[in-house]
Chains A and B, each alone.
Chain A
Amino acid sequence: MTALLKIEDLRVAIDGNEIVKGLSLEIGFGEKHAIMGPNGSGKSTLSKVLAGHPDYEVLDGSVQFAGVNLLELDTADRSLAGLFLGFQYPPEVPGVNNADFLRQALNIRRKAQKLEELDPLDFNDLLEKKLAELDLHNDIYQERSVNDGFSGGEKKRNEILQMAILEPKLVILDEIDSGLDIDALRLVSKGVNAFASNPDRSLLLITHYQRLLEYIIPTHVHVMIEGKIVKSGGKELAEDLEINGYEQFAGVL
């Protein structure tokens, strides 16, 4: 079976500085990958370039996603193809109601899949169901503008809510654990685990800390240093990093 995501020798620059320097990675269906690395190793750049951020320039390499050349698609088409990026710092979008935005995003997807669009009433039923499944008992997700005045934790939970509504094939979560207290981390992890229990869906977690990986157990762990993956292994690699840190890889490059 071919991989869901196949990155080969990817090189990425921003403002002329090369950040990702020849990275290869394969993610199969149902797999949960984690990329760990110190600050500045290029983890967030990788997530943004996969989602199609316009500021990043792909210098070389290829990315296949669900059988298509991902790099040829614009940001919206990557989303419609089933790629979802959970942002490290989700921006606030004042004046755009969160529920209306979610309905619009879902209906654009349904339209692309030749499915009937959901009317506000049907969508509201779906939203309430998802909110209950994610234990989000707060009307800010329905009543307020997107992330407007949300706490750091509420913004991250809203990312998980969007993921649950849009049902992507590959979920990339960029530092989903930053800014979360332990209860919120549990709640978010529970939502991600429930979502990823479907064998057709894959995960790519980007994190500094092993703590997240106690809640969302990865099938594969990669260490990223200075724009490259320097070591790959199973979940035990994350435990090793927790004890020995990233310094052990300083001489690898």
Chain B
Amino acid sequence: MKHSIHPTQLGLENFQAALSGLKHSEEWKYVDLKRLTDYIPQNFGTLDAQSACPELKNKIWTTENSPQQNSFLALPEAQPSHYQELDLAGKNLGAFLLEYKPEGKHQFLLSHLRLVCPARAKIQLNISVQSAPDAANLLNQSWEIILGEEAEFELNFLDQSSGSNLNFYNFSFACAGSSSLLFNHYTHGSAISKLNCQAALNGEEAKASFNSLALLAKRQAAHSQFLVEHKQPNTYSEEAFRAILRDESIAEFSGKIIVSPHAIGTDAKQLTRHLLLSDLARAHTRPQLEILADDVKCSHGATVGQLDAEQLFYLGARGLSPKEAEESLLKGFISELLDRCTYPDFRQAFTLQP
């Protein structure tokens, strides 16, 4: 009865079958694989970019054919049946909002969008992912983003989906010479969320900045994997990752920077900060630098800690109660990364409490 299976179901089956081989890998060892192997969706679906952004409808093509290269998928082995391509040619300047609002509560949902930001275009794309408040969906969203020469692209990603979701997001960026990429990622967390982000700086003087902010609680787990490859001279990258962890939540950050032999004059920075508000919360952070060129600047820093006692005392000495002082420091902690987003609606929508 193979013909009766929803094509997306095959992706889930392949993925679940592959999980047993992943459990010993460095990338998956902190992921609660049992939650994934046990997941039985009520139905299957796709997240459609056309309905997410009616404004770009005639710019989005849907195909049933998988792209040749699918290694960037968040769930390896999951073969997408639903693949869309968005060409922003002619849209040299503009801001677009993609709003994904799946209605199902226990669905396996796939989307795979390839997006081309043409040379010299200045584009801001704002993506919000929402869900029913009590949903427990399994999401597998993948983006492949190609920046032309001198393109300026700001991608703001706000995850407002249910705290019980299992979310797998994958971003793959290819950046041409003198292009500039700004990627801001904000989430209140889900039962499991995994963010994979790969960027290849393929042209000279390409710049890429990544900011990720996760506010986690209960038994949520967030796993973030960043890979930045400096392939040409005078390229720049910056990764700033912050998480606030309450209750028994877990945050994992793994960031690798590769500077190829040719990429002299590379400037790469990585900074992670985890704020633990509970004795039971845990943070793992793994910076990795692989530098094969001379004359480069690479720096990384990682802190895991609690709220600063001297700052709390200082605010208290100005009359703020312990609760007000804590809230003020937490707002400060998030605002530094939130302010890098130039889309005001997302800055307002992302608050300390979901």
CB distance from B201 to the nearest CB of A (A): 28
- Chain A residue at minimal CB-CB distance from B310: A91
**Stretch touching chain B among A48-56, A64-72, A116-124, A241-249:** A48-56
- Chain B residue at minimal CB-CB distance from A95: B332
- Chain A residue at minimal CB-CB distance from B338: A95
Cβ of B309 under 8 Å from chain A: yes
Cβ of B63 under 8 Å from chain A: no
> How many angstroms from the CA of A171 to the CA of B264 in the assembled complex?
56
Those of A65-117 within 8 Å (CB) of chain B: 74-76, 78-80, 84-85, 87, 90-91, 93-96, 101, 104-105, 108-109, 112
Partner of B316, one of A79, A90, A94, A101: A79
Which residues from chain B contact A105 at a C-beta distance below 8 Å?
318-320
> How many angstroms from the CA of A232 to the CA of B158 in the assembled complex?
63
Are A87 and B314 in contact (CB-based, < 8 A)? yes
Cβ of A162 under 8 Å from chain B: yes
Which residues from chain B contact A145 at a C-beta distance below 8 Å?
332
CB distance from B283 to the nearest CB of A (A): 19
When A54-B313, A91-B314 are in contact, do A76 and B320 touch as well, CB less than 8 Å?
yes
Cβ of B334 under 8 Å from chain A: yes
Are B331 and A96 in contact (CB-based, < 8 A)? yes
Are A93 and B311 in contact (CB-based, < 8 A)? yes
When A91-B308, A95-B336, A145-B332 are in contact, do A76 and B319 touch as well, CB less than 8 Å?
yes
> How many angstroms from the CA of A85 to the CA of B319 in the assembled complex?
11
Those of B295-354 within 8 Å (CB) of chain A: 308-311, 313-322, 324-325, 328-329, 331-336
CB distance from B350 to the nearest CB of A (A): 14
- Chain A residue at minimal CB-CB distance from B325: A76
Which residues from chain A contact B334 at a C-beta distance below 8 Å?
95
* Number of residues on chain B facing chain A (CB within 8 A): 24
CB distance from A39 to the nearest CB of B (A): 20
Interface of B is mostly: helix
> How many angstroms from the CA of A79 to the CA of B324 in the assembled complex?
14
> How many angstroms from the CA of A141 to the CA of B50 in the assembled complex?
47
Are A95 and B333 in contact (CB-based, < 8 A)? yes
> How many angstroms from the CA of A244 to the CA of B69 in the assembled complex?
83
Are B332 and A76 in contact (CB-based, < 8 A)? no
> How many angstroms from the CA of A94 to the CA of B334 in the assembled complex?
10
Cβ of A212 under 8 Å from chain B: no
Cβ of A10 under 8 Å from chain B: no
Those of B34-85 within 8 Å (CB) of chain A: none
Partner of A109, one of B313, B319, B328: B319
Are B311 and A76 in contact (CB-based, < 8 A)? no
> How many angstroms from the CA of A144 to the CA of B49 in the assembled complex?
40
Query: A94, A95, A108, A166 — which one has the most chain B CB atoms within 10 A of its CB?
Result: A95
- Chain B residue at minimal CB-CB distance from A78: B317
> How many angstroms from the CA of A96 to the CA of B320 in the assembled complex?
13
Which residues from chain A contact B314 at a C-beta distance below 8 Å?
87, 90-91, 93
> How many angstroms from the CA of A87 to the CA of B320 in the assembled complex?
16
> How many angstroms from the CA of A84 to the CA of B132 in the assembled complex?
49
Are A95 and B317 in contact (CB-based, < 8 A)? no
Which residues from chain B contact A95 at a C-beta distance below 8 Å?
331-336
Those of A22-72 within 8 Å (CB) of chain B: 51-55
Partner of A76, one of B308, B321, B328, B329: B321
- Chain A residue at minimal CB-CB distance from B333: A95
CB distance from A169 to the nearest CB of B (A): 13
> How many angstroms from the CA of A230 to the CA of B329 in the assembled complex?
41
- Chain B residue at minimal CB-CB distance from A86: B317
> How many angstroms from the CA of A105 to the CA of B320 in the assembled complex?
7
> How many angstroms from the CA of A104 to the CA of B323 in the assembled complex?
13
When A79-B319, A95-B334, A95-B335 are in contact, do A53 and B324 touch as well, CB less than 8 Å?
no
- Chain A residue at minimal CB-CB distance from B313: A53
Interface string of B1-35 (1 = CB under 8 A from A): 00000000000000000000000000000000000
Are B332 and A96 in contact (CB-based, < 8 A)? yes
> How many angstroms from the CA of A101 to the CA of B320 in the assembled complex?
10
Are B317 and A75 in contact (CB-based, < 8 A)? yes
Which residues from chain B contact A166 at a C-beta distance below 8 Å?
318-319
- Chain B residue at minimal CB-CB distance from A147: B314
Q: Which residues of A contact B (CB under 8 A)?
A: 51-55, 74-76, 78-80, 84-85, 87, 90-91, 93-96, 101, 104-105, 108-109, 112, 145, 162, 166
Q: Which residues of B contact A (CB under 8 A)?
A: 308-311, 313-322, 324-325, 328-329, 331-336
Shortest 10 CB-CB contacts between residues of A and residues of B: A95-B332, A75-B316, A96-B332, A79-B319, A105-B318, A95-B335, A95-B336, A108-B319, A91-B310, A76-B321
4 additional A-B pairs beyond A91-B308, A95-B333, beta carbons within 8 Å, are: A54-B309, A75-B313, A76-B316, A166-B318
Sample 5 A-B pairs with CB under 8 A, ordered by A number.
A52-B316, A52-B317, A76-B316, A94-B332, A104-B320
